[in-house]
Structures are given as structure tokens and as C-alpha cells.
Amino acid sequence: MAWDFETDADFQRQLDWMDTFVREEIEPIGLIWNKGTDPFDVRNPTTCALIKPLQEEVRKRELWACHLTPDLGGQGYGQVKLALMNEILGRSQWASRVFGTQAPDTGNAEIIAHYGTQAQKARYLQPLLNGEIVSCYSMTEPQAGSDPAEFRCRAWREGNDWVLDGEKYFSSHADFAEFLIVMAITDPDVPVHHGATMFLVPRDTPGIEILRNVGLMHESLDEPGSHGWVRYNRVRLPADAVLGEPGKAFELAQKRLGGGRIHHAMRTVAYCKRALDMLCERALSRHTQGSLLSEKQTVQNYIADSFIQLEQFRLLVLYAAWWCDKGDRHKSRAYISAVKVQAAEVLHDIVRRAVQVHGALGCSNETPLAGLWMAVPMMGVMDGPTEVHRVTVAKQVLRHYTASPDPLWPSEWLPAKIDAARRKFADYLDDTVGNL
Ligand SMILES: Cc1cc2nc3c(=O)[nH]c(=O)nc-3n(C[C@H](O)[C@H](O)[C@H](O)COP(=O)(O)OP(=O)(O)OC[C@H]3O[C@@H](n4cnc5c(N)ncnc54)[C@H](O)[C@@H]3O)c2cc1C
């Protein structure tokens, strides 16, 4: 009987240490550097100086970049352990940088480690793992994100070189990344899933133009955002810029997204927990219309529903992680897409209730609820929209079914089956139960 909801004692000690470290050392950073400061911007000397000693502590504790295998300086943890860690890291947007687990660098490091040549690993992977640089993943285009058949960014051979031309949208950290991993169509004559290639492109390559740094909806229009709208103007790349093999971009893309989505979902558990904490605290603090909010049944319903949704979601994420660790490709796909859908919905519901019980204060920009609320629409879009993940879940569920032999009846209640049951129980049937 192997079902078990407990964490082994050694790992729990590490989680406890992380919990205290994030609360005491990292969360205070977010109280000061919260508006207009990107935690991942390696060009900011102040925040780099703040973070460096914290990263050292994490390394000493052997918790640095745990998603990587030991030969790359990590711990080679499976998805369940990583999920439990991300539940803690999600408390502060600074934490993933301190622990060497920030997106998109984690996924990028994973595919370079897996598919890169020795020379590519030496040039890009090592400094990335050391936390000295950040990287960018440049796939979405202005006219297409979730449907790669609409991608237009192309690359073709000219002599020994490749020439890359086209536009990419929402390439996070493009402006200050040391390099970009760019997906481009290299064979337009075959379906896109076999005709696209990944390229490793140093940021200072001539021809890379940032048309705009797009900001998120809660960020000021006066400040540059972090999501690059990038134009690749006939960017010339050497033959060894290809990551993996030509035509295999989607194989690489799948490798980098699975774990990342689970980690993101578990950080969403932390966002929801934070909103629920605030909801409960407010319910116990605010006196109105003759009683505390916590004594009003509607507010009790808010708390109970939030707790139930959060616990269900958390277990679903851990279950998805467990399927990944088991190596079951189909199950992992279905459950990863399921948690991706749930993340947006659960976050929406819980933050909405927390905002509501905070009244006017909840509508202000003076609590963490503002940032949490603004994260809701992003959650339903990034890493693929909710609708597309629902399709994936449905397809995986349908794999286990076939059509009824008689389209007029459900297969369980086919007239032939009912007749067979009638014959089987003929001795017991009397007039009162005989009319099935
Ligand atoms: C914060 C953030 C960071 C991001 N970072 C990166 C990054 O670093 N690199 C990168 O390459 N991209 C990044 N993206 C882009 C992200 O991957 C895309 O937004 C996502 O894939 C969706 O693509 P799209 O925006 O073009 O929407 P579209 O694909 O155009 O979809 C728009 C809407 O159409 C609907 N829709 C789409 N397909 C279906 C369907 N089959 N059935 C029903 N309805 C459907 C959905 O409502 C969907 O939201 C980021 C996005 C966000 C929000």
C-alpha cells in the first residue's frame, strides 16, 4: 500500500529551512523593491549586490538549481520535490532568482544540458547555472502564439551560415538576456512540428532589434516592460548556433515546458495561500454591521470555498508531479494541462474573494492583492491558453473510450444487454421489477 501524503524527514528539514529563509531574508526585499524593479534584471547593481550573499547561502545548503542533475551543480530532484520547493518559492517574486530556479532560465538550461554540444554548454550553460547571466526564450510571434502553424519567423542556409528573419513577441527578458533561444521555421514544406529549429543567439548579434519592451497590465506605461517585441533583421548565425537538430524544435519545446508548468502551478498555490491568509486575517480584524466579518456566513463561505479549492488544486498539482516522476507520458500530459487550467481559475476565485472582503483597501494599489489580481489573466494565457489545455485534457480522457456500438443508446444500457440481464435474473423477476 504505497499511498502516502507525507514528506520524508530529511527533505522536510530542507523545506523548513527554505520556509524560514524565504520569510526572513527574501520577502523583506519585496517590501522595498516592489514597483518598477524587475527581480531578474542582472543590470541592476543594487539588487545584484543584495541577492548574491543569499544565493551563496542557498548553495551552501545544497538547494541551488535543484532541477539540474548533480553533474551540472544541482540535485537532480524529481518533480514532486521541486513542486514542494516551488510552493515556498512562490511566496516572493525574488525567491526563484535566489534559488537559481527562475523561468525561462530553468527550461532553457534544461534543453541546453540535454541537447547542447560541449561548446554550447561551456559558452551558455555554465554562466547560466552560476547565476551570472539570464536568458530569453523567443517563440511567440505577434500574430501567433498557441498555434505554431501560424508562425512566420524563418531561418535558411546561406553557405555555412544560417540567416534568421522575422518578429517575436513577449520574449521575456530579451532586453537584458545574454542570449536568446529562438524558434524559427527552417522547412516550410513540412508540417510545422517537423519543420522548426531552435537557435542559440547571443544578444549582441548584429540585426537584433527590440521594437518595444512590452509591460504587463499593472506596470506603468512610463516604465519599459520586460517582454520584448523583437525583430530579427536577417541575423546571420554560424552553423553551430543550432540547438539539437534542425527540424526538432518542438521536441525540445516539450522537454522544457512540462516541469516548468508544474513549478508555476505550485508557485500559484503559494499566491492563493497568500490571498487566503489575507482573507482570513481581514475577516478576523474587520468589525462591521454588528460583528466581525468572520462571524458572517457569507464570509465563512468565502473562507471554506477558498480552502477547499486550494487543497484540491494543491493535491492535483502534486499528483501531476508524481505522474511525471513515474515517467508516464500520457498521464503527465493530461494532468499538467489540467493543473494549467485550474491554476487560472482557482487563483481568480480566491483572490477575488480576498479583494472583496478588503473593500476599498482591496481595490487599492496598497496591498499585495493588486499584484495577485493582475496575475490572473496572465495565468490563463502564458504557457498556452486555458482553452488549448482543455483540449489536451479532453483528448487524453477520450483515449480511454470508444463509441457506443449503437449510437442511439449508451453502451451500458443497450437493449441487448438489458435482455441478457432479464434472462439472467428470470427466476427473480416478477411483475413489479420486470419492466426495466
Ligand atoms: C507574462 C507572460 C510571459 C510570457 N513569456 C513568453 C516568453 O518568454 N517567450 C515566449 O515565446 N512567449 C511568452 N509569452 C507568450 C505566451 O506563450 C502566449 O501568450 C501564449 O502561447 C498564447 O499565445 P497568444 O498570446 O498569441 O494568444 P493566441 O494563441 O492568439 O490565443 C488568443 C486567445 O484565443 C483563444 N484560443 C486560442 N486557441 C484556442 C482554441 N483552440 N480553442 C478556443 N479558443 C482558443 C484563447 O482565448 C486565447 O487566449 C508570455 C506571455 C505572458 C502573458
pLDDT, tens digit, for every residue of 170-184? 999 999 999 999 999
Choosing from 180, 208, 243, the residue where a domain stops is: 243
Residues with CB under 6 A from ligand 1: 104, 137-140, 144-147, 170-172, 227, 378, 381-385, 387-388, 391
Choosing from 53, 88, 116, the residue where a domain stops is: 116
d(CA 23, CA 95): 10
Co-location of 408 and 355 in the same domain: no
1 lies in some domain: no
Model confidence at 133: pLDDT above 80: yes
Co-location of 201 and 261 in the same domain: no
Q: What are the tens digits of pLDDT across the range 141-178?
A: 999 999 999 999 999 999 999 999 999 999 999 999 99
Using left for φ > 0, alpha for ψ between -120 and 50, and beta otherwise, residue 102 falls in: beta
124 lies in some domain: no
153 lies in some domain: yes
The stretches of 358-414 forming alpha helices (DSSP H) are 359-363, 369-379, 386-398
281 lies in some domain: yes
Co-location of 233 and 264 in the same domain: no
Model confidence at 412: pLDDT above 80: yes
155 lies in some domain: yes
Q: Whose CA is nearest to atom 43 of ligand 1?
A: 387
126 lies in some domain: no
d(CA 67, CA 78): 7
Co-location of 392 and 262 in the same domain: yes
Co-location of 259 and 383 in the same domain: yes
Co-location of 69 and 203 in the same domain: no
Report residue 38's pLDDT band, with 50, 70 and 90 as the boundaries.
confident
Co-location of 85 and 143 in the same domain: no
**Cα(199) to centroid(ligand 1), Å:** 21
Q: What is the pLDDT of residue 431?
A: 60
Query: Which residue spans within 192-301 are E strands per DSSP?
Result: 196-202, 208-214, 227-237, 242-243, 287-288, 291-292
Co-location of 305 and 285 in the same domain: yes
Do residues 341 and 390 lie in contact, with contact meaning Cβ atoms separated by under 8 Å?
Answer: yes
Residue 60: which domain range?
Answer: 9-116
d(CA 397, CA 322): 18
Co-location of 364 and 258 in the same domain: yes
Identity of the amino acid at 405:
P
Co-location of 176 and 107 in the same domain: no
Q: Whose CA is nearest to atom 36 of ligand 1?
A: 387
4 lies in some domain: no
3 lies in some domain: no
**Cα(163) to centroid(ligand 1), Å:** 26
Domain count, the chain: 4
Q: What is the pLDDT of residue 203?
A: 97
Task: Select from 345, 347, 351 the least CA-distant residue to 370.
Answer: 351
Identity of the amino acid at 175:
D
Q: What is the pLDDT of residue 432?
A: 58
Choose the residue to mutate in 217, 345, 382 for probing ligand 1, maximizing ligand atoms within 8 Å of C-beta: 382
